[in-house]
Amino acid sequence: MAWWSRTQGLAEQPKKSVPKGIWTKCERCSTTLYEVDLDANLKVCTSCNHHFRMSTADRIAMIVDEGSWQEHDRELESGDPLGFRVDGKRYADQVKGTTKKVGAGDAYRAGTATVGGIPAEVGFFVFEFMGGSMGSVVGEKITRQFERAIANKHPAILFSASGGARMQEGVLSLMQMAKTSAARSKMREARVPYIAVLLHPTTGGVAASVAMLGDLIIAEPDALIGFAGPRVIEQTIRQQLPPGFQRSEFLLEHGMVDMVVSRKDLKKTIERSLRWFERGRDPDRRTGQPLDDVELPATD
């Protein structure tokens, strides 16, 4: 009877679950990771090098020099020109709710900062805000970032993580593709460098415009980069796509990006690239011509 009582008592006790926020299972290799260690490793799996999605706030802190970030245009807010509704919910209410949850600034944050001591105009798509979709506010903020880069003679750096154009704004969102591309073209005319960094995912209208127009295009490992998704393409052309299609490494092999850089090396690679651009823009004292023959930045 004593044995039965003991086992019965154990069976009746509720099972203790592991509290949230302590352990995370890797999406690729299924390794169980201690979240403190994962955060210390910049959200990169210590077992297989899988890059987890990183919050925009953490990425800003990772890239810019401490204390140098001065954000611009946070007051800009999306309107609802079409009176758009989905599942009975107004777009204006959706924006308001997301702003309350994520913070002001819509799906893009731009600011002036230093990176490795070099002043730059830096912008980040906020994937937490409606999948980083590009509407009128995002297009305006990117355009203003590029205009500041021209006015201040600062290089521009743009980190893309987006599902594409924001359907709730219709053709106005598609217009941002042309608007941001035109602003980027003015930077090229002014010989102001532009570094594009492609994160997971960079798709749709963002990938088809400003994200792929950098003087230097860097991608994080295994990021999904492309216009339409692989399943849509396969259904359209009725062919099976090759392994790794639309991933960073595939794009590097086919000449669509210049580098695939691990997150732990990303800041120092950007710093090295900025120094290279700085040298290339300074005129040679003997000839007065730009130094175009400097050595390209190398990755470790």
Domains of the chain: 21-52 (no CATH), 55-281 (3.90.226.10)
Which of 128, 115, 117, 107 has the alpha carbon at shortest distance from 156? 115
User: How many other C-beta atoms lie within 10 A of the C-beta of residue 203?
Assistant: 24
Per-residue confidence (pLDDT) for residue 279, from 0 to 100: 83
The span from the first CA to the last CA of the chain, in angstroms, equals: 68
170 phi, psi to nearest 5 deg: 55, -135
What is the model's pLDDT at position 263? 97
User: Measuring CA to CA, how many Å separate 132 from each of 159, 164, 284?
Assistant: 11, 7, 42
Residue 22: the pLDDT is 86
Let me know: does 224 contact 201? Beta carbons within 8 Å.
yes
What pLDDT score does 281 carry?
61
The span from the CA of 74 to the CA of 123, in Å, is 12
Determine if the peptide bond prior to 290 is cis (ω within 30°): no
Q: Is 28 exposed, middle or buried (0-12, 13-18, 19+ CB in 10 A)?
A: middle
Task: Give which of 149, 231, 237 is closest to 193, Cα–Cα.
Answer: 149
* Residue 229: predicted pLDDT: 85
Q: Return phi, psi of residue 114, to 5°.
A: -110, 145
Tokens linked to 36:
């403190």
Q: Under 8 Å CB-to-CB from 291, ≥6 apart: which residues? A: 279, 280, 281, 282, 283, 284
Main-chain phi, psi angles of 134, to 5 degrees: -95, 105
Q: What are phi and psi for residue 95, nearest 5 degrees? A: -65, -45
pLDDT recorded at residue 213: 98
Listed as own residue / partner, the contacts of 183-189 with beta carbons closer than 8 Å and 24 or more positions apart are 183/142, 183/143, 183/146, 183/147, 184/146, 184/210, 184/213, 186/146, 186/147, 186/150, 187/146, 187/149, 187/150, 187/156, 188/215
Q: Would you write out the chain's pLDDT as a tens digit for each of its 300 residues? A: 455 445 555 455 555 555 666 889 998 899 999 999 899 999 999 899 999 999 999 999 999 999 999 999 999 999 998 999 988 899 999 999 999 999 999 999 999 999 999 999 999 999 999 999 999 999 999 999 999 999 999 999 999 999 999 999 999 999 999 999 999 999 999 999 999 999 999 999 999 999 999 999 999 999 999 999 888 899 999 999 999 999 999 999 999 999 999 999 999 999 999 999 988 665 444 444 444 444 445 544
What pTM was estimated for this model as a whole? 0.86
Q: List the beta bridge partners of residue 89.
A: 86
Predicted pLDDT of residue 291: 42
